[in-house]
Amino acid sequence: MAKQTGIIKLKGTIGGISFYKTTDGHLAREKGGVDASRIANDPAFQRTRENGSEFGRAGKGGKVLRNAIRVLLQNAKDKRVVSRLTKDLLAIVKTDTTNERGLRTVQNGNLSLLENFEFNLNGKLGTTLFAAFTKAFDRVTGDATLTIAAFSPTVRIAAPTGTTHFKVVMGASELDFENETSTFENDETAILPYTAANTAAIVLTASLTVNSTLPVVQVLGVEFYQEVNGQMYELKNGAYNALAAVTIDAL
């Protein structure tokens, strides 16, 4: 592909060249490729169809997860989270040893590979929160818990410039990839001052279905605020909020 330069940026197709806009700028490429009907029916493209089918399942799986944690994700994501998540889920699909190639699924793959996935590369949890935390999911009771001992925010949280306050958030979701549904519960602290003084101990709990047989993902995040004239504003529209998958529990 080629990158468009100059004042005038084109969109559309001219003389077999497609012009389009992406997050990387205005690009151009030659239009072409194999006819869709041939890919769908020609035995020579069997592997292509298998790869496409599994890629599609990974994409749908990513949508299930993103929709499940939308309440928290809308405040902590980067522009490439969709493609990054799809890539990781496709790798998980390929670990499925139950189904044949082309029929492999997310739910039968090794979902633990998703643990520590960062939803916002602009503000990673791993380089934001340095307070030790304990997390757990009890499948019998359905309770997902997270505890953090008292800590000094300015020592244990790397906050972006301008931060005056912060909040710790936690959520847990049951994911039914096959039926493309989910359940979600979350808990959070109050908006706390970003100072050197120790916080109180933090205990967050989210209750899911008792004895669930579905995979469960627990996420942890930190949101940043700036106080102006007594009002709290999300710092830079949440661009540096952190959110990561900290627990993956699959039967």
Average pLDDT of the residues in 232-250: 93
Banded pLDDT at 1 (limits 50, 70, 90): low
The structure tokens 């936690």 sit at 170
pLDDT tens readout for residues 20-68: 677 667 666 655 555 666 655 556 656 767 778 889 999 999 999 999 9
Amino acid at 40: A
CB 182 within 8 A of CB 68: yes
Instruction: Please tell me the predicted confidence (pLDDT) of residue 33.
Output: 59
pLDDT tens readout for residues 54-113: 899 999 999 999 999 999 999 899 999 999 999 999 999 999 999 999 899 999 999 999
Q: Using CB atoms within 10 A of its CB, is residue 120 exposed (0-12), middle (13-18) or buried (19+)?
A: buried
SS3 assignment, position 18: strand
Question: What count of Cα atoms within 13 Å lies in the side-chain half-sphere of residue 8?
Answer: 1
Nearest 5°: the CA angle 246, 250, 251 is 155
Instruction: Please tell me the predicted confidence (pLDDT) of residue 154.
Output: 97
pLDDT tens readout for residues 129-178: 999 999 999 999 999 999 999 999 999 999 999 999 999 999 999 999 99
Q: C-alpha distances in angstroms, 175 versus 42, 128, 156?
A: 35, 27, 32
Amino acid at 235: L
- pTM, two decimals, is 0.83
- The helix (run of H) or strand (run of E) holding residue 207 is strand 202-207
Q: Tell me the two tokens of residue 120.
A: 């916002």
Range list of H helices, 78-216 = 81-93, 153-156
Say yes or no to pLDDT of 114 above 70: yes
Gap between the Cα atoms of 122 and 2, Å rounded: 27
Instruction: Please tell me the predicted confidence (pLDDT) of residue 49.
Output: 75
Instruction: Please tell me the predicted confidence (pLDDT) of residue 208.
Output: 96
Instruction: Please tell me the predicted confidence (pLDDT) of residue 122.
Output: 94
User: Does residue 69 or residue 235 have the better pLDDT?
Assistant: 69
Instruction: Please tell me the predicted confidence (pLDDT) of residue 22.
Output: 73
pLDDT tens readout for residues 164-218: 999 999 999 999 999 999 999 999 999 999 999 999 999 999 999 999 999 999 9
Instruction: Please tell me the predicted confidence (pLDDT) of residue 31.
Output: 59
Instruction: Please tell me the predicted confidence (pLDDT) of residue 93.
Output: 96
In order of start, what are the domains of the chain with their CATH numbers? Answer: 1-32 (no CATH), 115-249 (2.60.40)
Instruction: Please tell me the predicted confidence (pLDDT) of residue 251.
Output: 78
